[in-house]
Amino acid sequence: MGEHRAGYISILGKPNAGKSTLLNALIGENLSIVTPKVQTTRHRILGIRNEDDYQMVFSDTPGILQPAYLLQESMMKAVYSSLEDADVLILLTSIEEDPWDEEPFLEILKNSDIPKAVAINKIDLSDESAVNLKMDYWKSVLNPGLIIPVSAIKGFNLDSILGFVHEHLPIHPPYYEKDELSDRHIRFFMSEIIRESILRFCQKEIPYSVEVLVISYNEEKDMDKVYAEIIVERESQKVILIGKGGEMIKRIGTESRIKMEEFLQKKVFVDIRVKVIEGWRSKQTYLKRFGYE
């Protein structure tokens, strides 16, 4: 066996490009939540792929956007911080996206010396000529080390991404224990599972107005107990989240419990309360308390 390689790889791209789907596929575990809605991911989330001779530490990041409120500013900080310590960048772009011409982020990428791959995702929705046009476009605007059409959802061409990453992975001892999958704790994943259910079941501004906090997590012999709070910005949102006769909150609770049981391979009890904190996502103190930078 040769020397051990290890490094950080950032997955960057616009909202809904499929970054979290790609992260999950690359590490073979559903760590990062995936939904059809934009702005699903809010934090930088590490997912670690371990083999005997290497450790790839992938960062899933929030989608690149122009921040309109403080929470989105924090989301963009997570994107930029993941650029700073990366050994390799994977820019993920959906075949359905508009060209990036006016995007200031493109300039940052152009000026960065970090090895880059552009992966054109969702090619299962497209055809060869559209894919070729996109590949030409990315060659002309960024000229990265690799341009590869992929389908994160179907696992198509992901080996090429792994090959490129491996080629550029520094010789380095592992950064994390070799049996670790992420830097996040169980509480974080439990709160994300609840947020995923909210994103799936609630419409309009609700998904973007909630924060989920796991208040207490008790591991018992036959069952884990999760006590959570959903924070909303206004009383009217609380009414919607609870639903008629508590229908919505029950649905969210049931769906979350099933996903948690799948994740933990154990029986789970879930208790969810809804609480209003007026305008929390524009207030520094709450963002800080909720773990945003």
From the list Mg ion, ligand GTP, none, pick the one residue 124 interacts with, judged by a Cβ distance below 5 to 8 Å according to partner type.
ligand GTP
CB neighbour class for 184 (10 Å; exposed up to 12, middle 13-18, buried from 19): middle
Query: Candidates 102-110, 120-128, 184-192, 226-234 — which segment interacts with ligand GTP by CB under 6 A?
Result: 120-128
> In the complex, what is the shortest distance from the CB of residue 59 to ligand GTP, in angstroms, rounded to a whole number?
12
Residue 34 binding ligand GTP, by CB under 6 A: yes
Strand arrangement, sheet containing 5-12:
45-51, 54-60, 5-12, 88-94, 116-121, 146-149
Which CB, 135 or 153, lies closer to Mg ion? 153
Which CB, 64 or 117, lies closer to Mg ion? 64
Q: Which of 10, 20, 126, 191 binds Mg ion (CB under 5 A)?
A: 20
Strand duo 211-219 + 45-51: pairing = unpaired
CB atoms within 10 A of CB 93: 21
Which CB, 220 or 293, lies closer to ligand GTP? 293
Query: Candidates 36-44, 185-193, 210-218, 248-256 — which segment interacts with Mg ion by CB under 5 A?
Result: 36-44
Which residues, 6+ apart, have CB-to-CB distance to 136 below 8 Å? Answer: none
Determine the residue type at 35: T
Q: Which of 70, 153, 162, 213 binds ligand GTP (CB under 6 A)?
A: 153
Residue 151 binding Mg ion, by CB under 5 A: no
From the list ligand GTP, Mg ion, none, pick the one residue 49 interacts with, judged by a Cβ distance below 5 to 8 Å according to partner type.
none
Q: Which of 7, 18, 115, 144 binds ligand GTP (CB under 6 A)?
A: 18
Paired residues of 214 in beta bridges? 228
> What is the chain's length?
293
Residue 91 binding ligand GTP, by CB under 6 A: no
Residue 40 binding Mg ion, by CB under 5 A: yes
Residue 125 binding ligand GTP, by CB under 6 A: yes
Residue 41 binding Mg ion, by CB under 5 A: yes
> In the complex, what is the shortest distance from the CB of residue 220 to ligand GTP, in angstroms, rounded to a whole number?
32
From the list Mg ion, ligand GTP, none, pick the one residue 21 interacts with, judged by a Cβ distance below 5 to 8 Å according to partner type.
ligand GTP
Q: Which of 7, 47, 63, 207 binds ligand GTP (CB under 6 A)?
A: 63
Residues from 215 through 244 that contact ligand GTP (CB under 6 A): none
Q: Which residues sit at the interface with ligand GTP, rule CB under 6 A?
A: 13, 15-21, 34-36, 38-41, 62-63, 121-122, 124-125, 151-153
Q: Which residues sit at the interface with Mg ion, rule CB under 5 A?
A: 19-20, 40-41
